[in-house]
Amino acid sequence: MITGYNQDVPYKGKIFHVQTEDRGKENPVIETLIYLGGEIVSSFKTSYKQMLERNCTEAEIAALLEKQHRRIVVEVKLGKYAKEKEDKPFGEGIISNKSLDEVILDYLTSEAEGEKMKVSIIEQSPMVAGTRAFFKVKTFYDISEVPVENADVRVKLITSDGMNSDILKTATNHEGLCNALFEIPNIKGNGVVVLTVSKDKEKFESKVLVTK
């Protein structure tokens, strides 16, 4: 069973809670429940039975779960699950059958291409040659704010005397967090520590000079 997501999502002063879970291979369904004030206001289910029949990997199921959760979160942010109907602007629907929010939603959630990965360096130590150092980073998608799990985190040391090598390879956890701990070797010349965080086609990079 894949670990799911639980997320509070604000919309016009209200807090919706979005919960997405994998029901397991005995009941191959990914289910998202939307709560408001402890009450379920809507739900969404996707079967992955056919995926299992073609021997899909756990990573493929996890990707489906993440995509479904992100889409529902964006829908909540656009007011799709608000109970009361809001006043519609005069003339809406004359040119198109879709509201502006629906058009935006279609764009943002089309194969998840509308969202971009964001990386925040929460904390970092001084980068001193011959000492232990760290970066604490958080990764998330910019619209849904869903954590980016299994983003590739690498720390490289580049020096003026020709060294160019990885000193750490790790990944973000289910909360999109990574505590990157590494040793900076003693160096003779100048050096720079390069932090790279990447997932799919998204990439973030930060460089910090090494002191002695």
Domain count, the chain: 2
Given a cut of 90, whether residue 204 has pLDDT beyond it is yes
3-class DSSP string for 82-131: CCCCCCCCCCCCCCCCCCHHHHHHHHHHHHHCCCCEEEEEEEECCCECCC
- Average pLDDT for 144-162: 93
Q: Are residues 57 and 32 in the same domain?
A: yes
Domain of residue 53, residue span: 5-112
Q: Are residues 68 and 123 in the same domain?
A: no
Q: Please give the pLDDT value at position 88.
A: 43
Residue where a domain stops, chosen among 112, 136, 159: 112
Q: Please give the pLDDT value at position 90.
A: 39
Q: Are residues 53 and 151 in the same domain?
A: no
> What is the average pLDDT value for the chain, to the nearest integer?
86
User: pTM of this prediction?
Assistant: 0.73
Q: Are residues 123 and 203 in the same domain?
A: yes
Residue where a domain stops, chosen among 64, 91, 112: 112
Domain with residue 121: its CATH number is 2.60.40.1930
